[in-house]
Amino acid sequence: MSNQSKSVAALALGAIGVVYGDIGTSPLYTVKEIFGESTGIALNHVNIIGAISAIFWLLMLVVTLKYVVLVLRADNRGEGGVMALLALAVSSASAKPLRKKILLGLGVFGAALFYGDSILTPAISVLSAVEGLELIAPSSKSFILPISIAILIALFMFQKYGTDTVGKLFGPIVMAWFVTLGTIGVSHILRNPEILQALNPLYAFHFLADRGAGVFLAVGAVVLAITGAEALYADMGHFGKPAIRIAWTALVLPGLALNYLGQGALLLATPAAVSNPFYLSFPQELLIPAVVLATLATIIASQAVISGAYSITQQAIQLGFLPRMQILHTSASESGQIYIPAINWLLLVAVIITCISFQNSSAIAAAYGIAVTGTMLITTILTYFVLRYNWKYPLWLSLGATSMFILLDVMLLASCSVKFFKGGWFPVALAICMVMMMWTWKQGREILLKNMHENDPKLEDFVKSLHNNIKPRVERTAVFLCRNPETVPQALMHNLKHNQVLHQTNIILSVVFAEAPTVPLDARLEVNEIGAGFWKVVVHFGFMENPNIPKALAQLQLSQESTIDPFTTSYFASRETIVSGPGGKMAKWRDDLFGFMSRNAGSVVSYFNIPSNSVIELGARVNI
Domain match, 359 and 496 both = no
Above 60 in pLDDT, residue 105? yes
Domain match, 347 and 475 both = no
Residue 7 lies in a domain: no
Number of neighbours of residue 28 by Cβ within 10 angstroms: 25
Alpha-helical regions (H) of 131-282: 133-136, 144-157, 162-191, 201-209, 215-222, 229-234, 236-239, 241-247, 253-269
Domain match, 337 and 476 both = no
In 3D, which of 208, 204, 320, 298 has the Cα closest to residue 260?
A: 204
Residue 250 lies in a domain: yes
Domain match, 600 and 461 both = yes
Across residues 6-22, what is the average pLDDT? 72
Quick: pLDDT tens for 130-184: 887 887 878 778 888 898 899 889 888 877 776 566 656 677 888 888 999 999 9
Classify the C-alpha dihedral 35-41-45-51 as positive or negative: negative
Cβ–Cβ under 8 Å, residues 211 and 2: no
More confident site: 111 or 470 = 111
Domain match, 463 and 332 both = no
In this structure, what CATH number is given to the domain that contains residue 22?
1.20.1740.10
Domain match, 360 and 460 both = no
The residue from 364, 388, 410 where one domain ends is 364
Per the structure, how many domains does the chain have? 2
* % of the chain residues with pLDDT over 90: 14
Distances in whole angstroms, Cα of residue 279 to Cα of each of 28, 184, 190, 204, 349: 8, 10, 18, 25, 30
Which domain range does residue 548 map to?
456-623
In 3D, which of 613, 619, 504 has the Cα closest to residue 562?
A: 504
User: Can you state the angle between helices 201-209 and 45-58, rounded to 10 degrees?
Assistant: 110
Domain match, 58 and 183 both = yes
Residue 316 lies in a domain: yes
Domain match, 360 and 468 both = no
Domain match, 333 and 461 both = no
Residue 431 lies in a domain: no
Domain match, 470 and 352 both = no
Q: What mean pLDDT, rounded, does the chain reach?
A: 82
Cβ–Cβ under 8 Å, residues 23 and 58: no
Among the ranges 39-53, 294-308, 451-465, which has the highest mean pLDDT value? Answer: 39-53
Residue 399 lies in a domain: no
> Cα separation of 188 and 260, whole Å?
10
Residue 283 lies in a domain: yes
Residue 194 lies in a domain: yes
Quick: pLDDT tens for 246-289: 889 889 999 999 999 999 999 999 998 888 899 899 998 888 88
Above 50 in pLDDT, residue 1? no
Among the ranges 27-31, 65-69, 196-200, 524-528, which has the highest mean pLDDT value? Answer: 196-200
The residue from 315, 346, 364 where one domain ends is 364
Residue 125 lies in a domain: yes
Quick: pLDDT tens for 212-224: 777 777 888 888 8
Quick: pLDDT tens for 362-412: 788 777 778 888 888 888 898 888 888 888 888 888 888 888 889 988 988
The pLDDT of residue 264: 94
Number of neighbours of residue 141 by Cβ within 10 angstroms: 12
The residue from 300, 335, 364 where one domain ends is 364
Across residues 40-65, what is the average pLDDT? 91
